[in-house]
Amino acid sequence: MTEFSHRTVLLEETVQALVPDEQVPAGGIYVDGTYGRGGHSDALLKRLDAQARLLVIDKDPQAIAVAQARAANDPRIVCIHGGFGDMRALLDGYGVQAVNGVMMDLGVSSPQLDQAERGFSFMRDGPLDMRMDTSQGQTAAQWLAVASLDEVREVIRDYGEERFALQIAKAIVARREVRPIERTLDLADIVAAAVRTREKGQHPATRTFQAIRIYLNRELEELDRALEAALGLLVQGGRLAVISFHSLEDRRVKQFMQAASRVPAELARLPLREDQLPKPLLSGVKRIRPSATEVAGNPRARSAVLRVAERTGAPLTRGAD
């Protein structure tokens, strides 16, 4: 298997958030919900003691193969092939009911973008696949061949926040009547012809590729489930660290952390004493952006946002799985 380069975004900030310097070396159980090529995991392992465990999850078979190779030399690593939205059930399979930290690096990884055969990039010619887990599910080409005009429009509009969604959908449907859309550059050309104006420095197909990828992999739904699962798994004082790369993801993470760190609005308006109000489930919510130096060295870090929160001792009153 060819190894592709990957520059980990917000590396020091993420591991510092999970295990601050004063706690090194740390014990306990940690979860990397999106292993990728293991940049964050490798750095976190350096801060953990010999008794700690790190459970790494990824739905990409190539990512898990990389993790397994490293686990062969480090007994602290447990490799799990699956989606982080199923975190609770996956950890149950290993007898893990509580953890000290959870990190998630959302979206597509550099190796996935750089491998033309994965179909994620509009800059490289390859089959229109776009599946995170190549062992199952519908490819982008298969979906585009059967989706209705309204379905294509809604996906591109809702998951790509694309104002030209209708024009793009019409162009896709018209083109597939002539011949199937099976290659990445083919789709990119169709979109470019349909979109006459675009933000400076952004390829016309950026939002369309993002939208189809998010939809096919159910990324936002999985993120929602993963956040709830992490909240239910974290021990008091445990940390949650989530890196997002676009507004749809970041908005969900922000709203989730804010809601869990406040008293519900409907209760705050009632004539109750402070000691009668339920305690928030999260505290210390922070937002961290990459430094100018990191962005200069790695342009893919430009849109990254890290949000961090700490689990309080308040009992969980809503379901989390």
**Which residue ranges make up each domain of the chain?**
11-110+219-311, 134-216
- The Cα 201–Cα 242 span in angstroms is 27
Query: Which contiguous run of DSSP H or E holds residue 168?
Result: helix 165-176
Average pLDDT over residues 215-238: 97
Q: What is the pTM of this model?
A: 0.90
- The Cα 84–Cα 86 span in angstroms is 5
Mean pLDDT across the chain = 91
- The Cα 319–Cα 17 span in angstroms is 26
84 belongs to an annotated ligand binding site: yes
120 belongs to an annotated ligand binding site: no
Question: 39-43, 49-53, 110-114, 148-152 — which is least confidently predicted?
Answer: 110-114
Class of the domain covering 11-110+219-311: alpha beta
Q: What pLDDT, on the 0 to 100 scale, is given for residue 271?
A: 66
Q: What pLDDT, on the 0 to 100 scale, is given for residue 225?
A: 98
Q: What pLDDT, on the 0 to 100 scale, is given for residue 264?
A: 66
Query: Is the fold of 11-110+219-311 the same as that of 134-216?
Result: no
Structure tokens at 110: 């550099």
Q: What pLDDT, on the 0 to 100 scale, is given for residue 107?
A: 83
* Helix axes of 165-176 and 184-194: crossing angle, nearest 10 degrees: 130
- The Cα 239–Cα 32 span in angstroms is 12
Whether residue 174 is predicted with pLDDT greater than 50 in this model: the reply is yes
The conformational region for residue 109 under phi > 0 = left, psi -120 to 50 = alpha, else beta, is beta
- The Cα 155–Cα 207 span in angstroms is 10
Q: What pLDDT, on the 0 to 100 scale, is given for residue 263?
A: 72
Q: What pLDDT, on the 0 to 100 scale, is given for residue 321?
A: 44
pLDDT tens-digit series, residues 256-313: 999 999 876 666 566 666 666 678 999 999 999 999 999 999 888 999 999 999 999 9
58 belongs to an annotated ligand binding site: yes
Question: Hey, which CATH number is domain 134-216, 3.40.718.10, 1.10.3210.10, 1.10.150.170, 3.90.226.10?
Answer: 1.10.150.170
pLDDT tens-digit series, residues 179-205: 999 999 999 999 999 987 777 778 899
Average pLDDT over residues 114-140: 91
105 belongs to an annotated ligand binding site: yes
pLDDT tens-digit series, residues 41-81: 999 999 999 999 999 999 999 999 999 999 999 999 999 99
40 belongs to an annotated ligand binding site: yes
38 belongs to an annotated ligand binding site: yes
39 belongs to an annotated ligand binding site: yes
Share above pLDDT 70 across residues of the chain, in percent, rounded to a whole number: 92
More confident residue, 158 or 316: 158
